[in-house]
Structure 1
Amino acid sequence: MPRQPLAPVALLAALAACSSAPKPDPMHHDPDPVVTADAAAPAPSPYDAARAEVTRLTAEADRDPLLAAWTGAYGGVPPWDQLDAGKFGAAFTTGIALRAAEIDAIAEDPTPPTFANTLVPYEAAGRHLDRAETLFSVMTSSLNAPEVQAVDREWSPKLAAAADAISFNSKLFARIAAVYDGRADAGLDAEQRRLVELTYDAFVRAGARLDAAQKDQLGQLNQELAVLFTDFGNKVLADENTWIVLDKGDLAGLPETLRASYAAAAAERGLAGKWAVVNTRSSVDPFLTTSSRRDLRERVWKAFKNRGDNGDANDTNQTIARIVELRAQRAKLLGYASHAHWRMSNTMALDPAKAQALMMEVWPAAVARVEEEVADMQKVANKEKAKITIEPWDYLYYAEKVRKARYDLDQDQLKPYFQLDNMIAGAFWMAEQLYGLGFTEITGTVPVFHPDVRVWKVEDKATGAFVGLFYGDYFARAGKRSGAWASTYQGHETYTGTVQTVITSNNNNFVRGAAGAPVLISLDDAQTLFHEFGHALHGLLSEVTYPGLRSTPRDFVEYPSQVHEMWVLTRPILDRFCKHVDTGKTMPQKLIDKVEKAKKFNEGYATVEYLSAAIVDMALHTLPDGKIDPDAFERETMEKIGAPPQVAMRHRLPQFNHLFTSDAYSAGYYSYLWSEVMDADTRQAFEEAGDVFDKATAAKLRKYILAPGNSTDRAEAYRQFRGRDPDVDALLAKRGFPVKTIRVEQRRTDKPKPKGK
């Protein structure tokens, strides 16, 4: 989400402190001037004019609830009850103008640039607009509707242009560059120096050193991309808002809890007496796992995997082709070999070759494991005289049969123990044991953006200090994008002299059960719940001073989330929170033993599904010219790497939201694997301590990994935590693959340089 900088009052104070304008003497009275046409008052300086505009626009923005500072309990909460798509245009207009005036006040400052008069007010600029963008982002992701899409289409290019205007402001960049050049002798502390360096680097990567014509070209590329990102997301969402209707005769093999969920989904869509498989992963995967109707499995699988690829109004292939081409043009303009080289220049891996090397080290073992898994499934199918060859829509169904035969374990045995409410409580208990956090539900006392949303107050259990607010939006519904994600509505900062606490959220797409019945989720769903909660904890435990140091490199950001998945299957969580929905009894040791033995089952499928998508992403974005036919490129790349035909990419290109709704994960889907190396190695640290809730290890994890944000180098932070670089052996062992000796070099000295200085 956007930075949450300093309030305009503090911004003006910071700017005023730097002003050299003389103050009038209140005891001195000049004679009344004679006003003539030739003696008009002199025009204010650009600096004074900008400050006056900041004052005027701040007063205007403070009257708009979409822009104004958040008020109410807990230091202020988002005004979700004020959301109205039709009012965002006016808010964006005012917010953009105010931020531009704030930037002008910095750029036109007549005093020599310093950290205090340049970096501090730059951190402060744009707070009002950030609030409006934060609120609107929730509408586009969780409350999407035609009127929201119309605003998004109109304003995404305008917001992109407004952001470019800052990056391209030569006076502003000159001041930032001056502070950067003098940082060694400016008396800055380590955190301030890092902020200067990261800010300078961000401006360079955004095109600050280009000439006027190049900036104009780059701005046009960015604006067109903004429109295309919105277009892609809306098309995929439209395809996900479809469903396959089932009759009673189509329910063979489905457990009662799943039938109830599909009946509820149908009823929500006005199809009483029917059952509906909605075209989202949380609805599709359980059907593919349990339905004995092969014809329906094929139909459901194809509908899901062909989202965005049906040759209709929602087909995304042309959108993808244009995005990839424009990205390549932008990278070339900025002086990089490809989009991937540009995107990765500020990551831990730093260049595509290292990410590709890691992926291809793991790939052969994953493919070999899939071949073993398919052979096992084919034996089961042959034994049942099914007269089939295993296809992608058979994989989850027959894998479950193999699991049952090999481990006497299936999902139906586990699901009654995983109640959603209990697993939420388990995640909170984990946070208490590891980090001393307490969660108290306050739903109903603060505004929410949908009736499904619940809210918790977060406190330090030892001191009672308020830490922040946590929002949970757990259920699938129309207008909500698929998948699971975490959002930070307000981040931690202290540079204003007061502590700004965190407001964060988790968003899932769990399927409701029958009305009034407990919601049961799968083991995979439980791990996803803990994963997203790990993101939330990363925000809640932040101790950064400056907003610009909150965001970590893309290939680090998934590490804190992935590592928290490990606690789902620990004995303390299982004993306390995995109670049978009917009997209330704890999961028996015999079943726990089965789960432990089967923990690495089907890892071939999971790894190939993920890695194939990550490899295609990297191959796509290392193309120098970006000219592709998406369908042909995907197919040819999968053939080139020898992808097993029984396993499709987790996200095919036509629905790959990670890549094509923003630049965020483009050339970055590898980051889950890169982060998992650190995750697996961290799990070993707790195992070596002999206690999965070891206080000393948890304290180090918090101190070096979670609290600093990006205020310290993340590779060095990992070494401080672990005493060495991470070892890929831990990842291979975690996934049950043959262990090799592979080291992940976290840094390099020959960092690629863009054009210019």
Structure 2
Amino acid sequence: MFKKSILILAASCMMYSCTTQTENNPFFTEFQTPNGVPPFDQIKLEHYEPAFLKGIEEQNAKIQSIVDNDEAPTFENVIVALDNSSPMLDRVGGVFHNMTEAETTDELTELSIRIAPVLSEHEDNIYLNQGLFKKVNAVYQQKESLGLNSEQQRLLEKKYKEFVRSGANLPADKQARLREINKQLSTLSITFTNNTLNENNAFKLFIDKQEDLAGLPEWFCQSAAEEAKADGQEGKWLFTLHNASRLPFLQYSANRPLREKMYKAYINRGNNNDKNDNKKILSDIISLRLEKARLMGFDCYANFVLDTKMAKNSTNVMDFLNNLWGYALPKAKTEAAELQKLMDKEGKGEKLEAWDWWYYTEKLRKEKFNLEEEDIKPYFKLENVREGAFAVANKLYGITLTKLEGIPVYHPDVEVFEVKANDGSQVGIFYVDYFPRSGKSGGAWMSNYREQQAGVRPLVCNVCSFTKPVGDTPSLLTIDEVETLFHEFGHALHGLLTQCQYKGTSGTNVVRDFVELPSQINEHWATEPEVLKMYAKHYQTGEVIPDSLIEKILKQKTFNQGFMTTELLAAAILDMNLHTLTDTRGIDVVAYEKEAMDRLGLIPQIAPRYRTTYFNHIIGGYEAGYYSYLWANVLDNDAFEAFKEHGIFDKQTADLFRQNVLEKGDSEDPMTLYKNFRGAEPQLDPMLKNRGMK
């Protein structure tokens, strides 16, 4: 997942009184550190708000100078000046945004709720500034005669559309209402995501009887014992809703009632009618988004969002998703029938339920492929997997990553690497933060502390929630976690290797349905036999993964893909359904979700990958955009065909991908970039074949 370090952090109270001494606020100047990295050892809670407020003042002054400039409006004195107008806000926003996701506290949450409306108002003040828009429009109207290159044309187009889509052409009364909507959305979004985090942390399944651990691997029990001890319950075992705990529990626990308890706790997050309930919050968000879309002249919010994306409109997206549904659901039903047969063999008379899927899928994997996750985990020591991802990047793009010591970090788990080109020049700095914590949001993402532009090297981070080390046993990853590491590193490569002139077009500043291409194509190398032999080594013996295991891994690549694709599709369709509504009065989002899934014919053993009350993606930038993972999956599978045709480390193919995708950022239309690499538009067949649907 990609998360941009945006200034509108999702969400408040103008001119909060700041009495804290700020003379030594590290955000007030460029960071006085090697490579300009954030000085986490100096940054304190009280530094953020003064820096936001001073950053707003700084940007206001820069914008006023653009407006007051008596010279004729040009690309340089308007568009470039605007692109470079927020250095302090960029510094504080980049750090603060990631901290609220990776290492939040109650104090940070309170501050985010307080500062978000301030930032929302500031953004509106920029885009509704008629003097500034007049200058932008003046440059835009001359675009054909300015002799701009493709990147400059793209930046000009983006800036102009940002103003129009932010209400610059609306009458005053509609602009005023738009401001109120944006403020409300900013605080509602923060509350939603914070509630989800609280729900994750609130559930604790303590087990105090050895027999209730039946089926669970020893390493997992040992980890759960350490978690219980850390929680003050020594002698027990603690299991939580974090992926690294929940998924192995569902996968291996022979205790069906406990599996049900774990599963239901997960799918009912935000839907418990308590202080963390998200139903009313989401219904308000959906209603406000619809109102905003109508103010902007669109019939629904999805069409407002998609107007600037590759997909263009909701009809194209729904046609795409419904087409895939016709392949995925039948395969999922076939898989469910296989699992039911497996259950029937046990003679218990039990009917397959959602909390049984992972457990019996693991049993079926063993039966069909003589393979269990436990057979391959010893070969996937986290550090080795990471070095494998780095080695792939070296062979493809000639870069090397070397660990740096003494760099300030916000948590002991964080490690930092210097990225260099093959000529020894520095490309950027890369942070990794891999283990779950109570203050960390679930899932995985890439973000920036500093974005690349001419003369500025990027600072990029990956944040994940992988299986933690236990005692003397290192972190051993599942196949899914291995692919997630490669996925997020693919996003990082997009942010690190970009070669753009302007911040607004660099790296991951691309449309949402293109941003997942670099991440998802990078996953393909993770399980290529040649690559596995580079990094998959037994953590105890150093033995390279044997061919017999590689063969089994490859044979089961399409195993359970009906389930995986169907749950992803269900969430993407749910997202689109919510955002194509044209009447949201009195909406009950949970009831609406059930109606939508019933219409699809989704089987009861599968829930959408994200249900409405904890669907953080559609709060944090993927609203009317969750389809992007599947849209980009068409691109990445088609793109990897080029590597398979010429060799997975073919230099010419790698150079084409680097030069036309990774380096280009958003400097040209994404389909143009793709066709420049591939020579044609993408085909659907490679994706269907790789998911076992054709």
Alignment TM-score > 0.5, same fold: yes
- Contact 1:83-1:135 within 8 A present in 2 as well: no
| Paired position in structure 2 for 1:754 | none
1:634 to 579, 593, 596: 593
Q: Displacement of 1:571 after TM fit?
A: 1.6
In 1, the alpha carbon distance for the partners of 2:29 and 2:227 equals: 38
CA contact (8 A) 1:265 1:278 kept: no
Alignment of 1:573-612 (within 5 A): 573-612=531-570
Distance across 1 between alignment mates of 2:139 and 2:565? 46
TM-score (norm 1): 0.87
Superposed displacement of residue 710, structure 1: 0.3
Q: What residue in structure 1 maps to residue 611 of structure 2?
A: 652
**Alignment-mate amino acid for residue 685 of structure 1:** A
The equivalent position to 1:554 in structure 2, one of 512, 526, 539, is: 512
Which deviations, in whole Å up to 9, do the C-alpha atoms of 1:707-730 show, x marking residues without a partner? 000001110111111111000111
AA in 1 matched with 2:610? H
In structure 2, distance between residues paired with 1:686 and 1:163: 43
Task: Say if 2:661 is the partner of 1:705.
Answer: yes
- Deviation for aligned residue 1:347: 0.6
Please say if 1:377 is aligned against 2:335.
Answer: no
1:390 has 2:352 as partner:
yes
Residue 276, structure 1, aligned to residue 233, structure 2:
no
Which structure has the greater CA radius of gyration? 1
Quote the Cα distance in structure 1 between the aligned partners of 2:190 and 2:448.
21
Aligned position for 2:32: 71
Which residue type is aligned with residue 552 of structure 1? V
Indicate if the aligned counterparts of 2:6 and 2:93 stay in contact, CA closer than 8 A. Answer: no
Mapped to 2, the partners of 1:720 and 1:283 lie a distance apart of 43
1:695 is matched with 651
Q: Distance in 1 between matches of 2:41 and 2:298?
A: 45
Q: Does structure 2 conserve the Cα–Cα contact (< 8 Å) formed by 1:554 and 1:671? A: yes
Once the two structures are TM-superposed, the CA of residue 502 in structure 1 deviates from its matched residue by: 1.0
- Structure-2 separation of matches of 1:466 and 1:702: 17
Q: Aligned equivalents of 1:293 and 1:540: distance in 2? A: 46
Paired residues for 1:148-167 under 5 Å: 148-167=108-127
Q: Tell me the distance in 2 between the aligned counterparts of 1:477 and 1:110.
A: 54
Structure 2 unaligned spans of 5+: 8-20
Asked whether 1:210 is paired with 2:170, we answer yes
Corresponding residue for residue 15 of structure 2: none
Q: CA deviation at 1:314?
A: 0.5
1:62, distance to aligned residue in structure 2 (A): 8.6
- Give, in whole Å, the separation in 2 of the partners of 1:623 and 1:181: 35
- The one-letter code matched in structure 1 to 2:673 is A
Match for residue 56 of structure 2 among 92, 96, 100: 96
Distance 1:128 1:199 in 2: 20
In the TM superposition, 1:412-451 aligns within 5 A as 412-442=374-404, 444-451=405-412
Q: TM-score of the superposition, structure 2-length normalised? A: 0.95
* 1:63, distance to aligned residue in structure 2 (A): 5.3
Q: In the alignment, which residue of structure 2 is the partner of 1:745?
A: none
Counterpart of 1:27 in structure 2 is none
Checking the alignment, whether the CA contact within 8 Å between 1:544 and 1:711 is kept in structure 2 is yes
Structure-1 separation of matches of 2:6 and 2:497? 17
Match of 1:308 in 2: 270
Q: Distance in 1 between matches of 2:484 and 2:230?
A: 25
Amino acid at match of 2:133: F
Matches within 5 A, 1:95-134: 95-134=55-94
Post-superposition Cα deviations, 1:229-268, rounded to whole Å, max 9, x if no partner, equal 0110111110111321122332110111111222222223
Equivalent residue for 1:668? 625
- The alpha carbon displacement at 1:61 in A equals 8.9
Q: Would the aligned equivalents of 2:635 and 2:682 in 1 still touch at CA under 8 Å?
A: yes
SS in 2 for 1:180: helix
The aligned length equals 673
CA distance in 1, matches of 2:579, 2:6: 27
Matched, 1:513 2:469: yes
Q: Distance in 1 between matches of 2:227 and 2:243?
A: 14
1:444-459 matched pairs, under 5 angstroms: 444-459=405-420
Report the counterpart of residue 251 of structure 2 in structure 1: 289
Match of 1:245 among 194, 197, 206: 206
Q: Give the corresponding residue for 1:572.
A: 530
Query: Which residue of the other structure, out of 176, 179, 200, is the alignment partner of 1:219?
Result: 179
Separation (CA, whole Å) in 1 of partners of 2:168 and 2:5: 20
Distance 2:226 2:305 in 1: 43
> What secondary structure, in the 3-state scheme, does the structure 1 residue paired with 2:465 have?
strand
Pick the aligned partner of 2:495 from 539, 544, 568: 539
Give, in angstroms, the shift of residue 87 of structure 1: 2.9
**Given residue 667 of structure 1, which amino acid in structure 2 is its aligned partner?**
A
Distance 2:69 2:540 in 1: 69
Q: Which residue of 2 aligns with 1:18?
A: none
Shift of 1:420: 0.5
Which residue is equivalent to 1:171? Answer: 131
| Among 303, 306, 309, the residue aligned to 1:341 | 303
Distance 2:342 2:146 in 1: 71
Name the residue aligned to 2:583: 625
CA distance in 1, matches of 2:179, 2:274: 31
Asked whether the equivalents of residues 67 and 129 of structure 1 are also in contact (C-alpha less than 8 Å), the reply is no
Cα pair distance change 1:201/1:342, threshold 3 Å: same
Counterpart selection for 2:431 from 444, 467, 471? 471
The worse-fitting range, judged by mean Cα deviation, of 323-332 and 515-524 is 515-524
1:66–1:79 contact (8 Å) kept in structure 2: no
Shift of 1:2: 4.7
**Rounded Cα–Cα distance in structure 2 between residues aligned with 1:229 and 1:300:** 26
Q: Cα deviations across residues 163-215 of structure 1 (Å, max 9, x unaligned)?
A: 11000000000000000001111232222122111110111111111122111
| Other-structure match for 2:10 | none
Work out the percentage of aligned pairs sharing the same amino acid. 39
Aligned to 1:263, the other structure's residue is in SS state helix
- Give the distance between the partners of 1:373 and 1:399, measured in 2 at CA: 9
Q: How does 1:730-749 map to 2 (within 5 A)?
A: 730-738=686-694
Task: Give the C-alpha shift of residue 587 in structure 1.
Answer: 1.3
| SS across alignment from 1:66 | helix
- Judge which range, 216-225 or 363-372, deviates more: 363-372
1:522 CA displacement = 0.2
Judge conservation of contact 1:86–1:151 (CA < 8 Å) in 2.
no
Q: Determine which of 660, 667, 670 is the counterpart of 1:714.
A: 670
| C-alpha deviation, 1:511, in angstroms | 2.7
CA distance in 2, matches of 1:2, 1:302: 33
Let me know the Cα RMSD of the aligned residues. Answer: 1.4
Distance 2:650 2:150 in 1: 30
Moved segments of 4+, more than 4 Å: 60-63
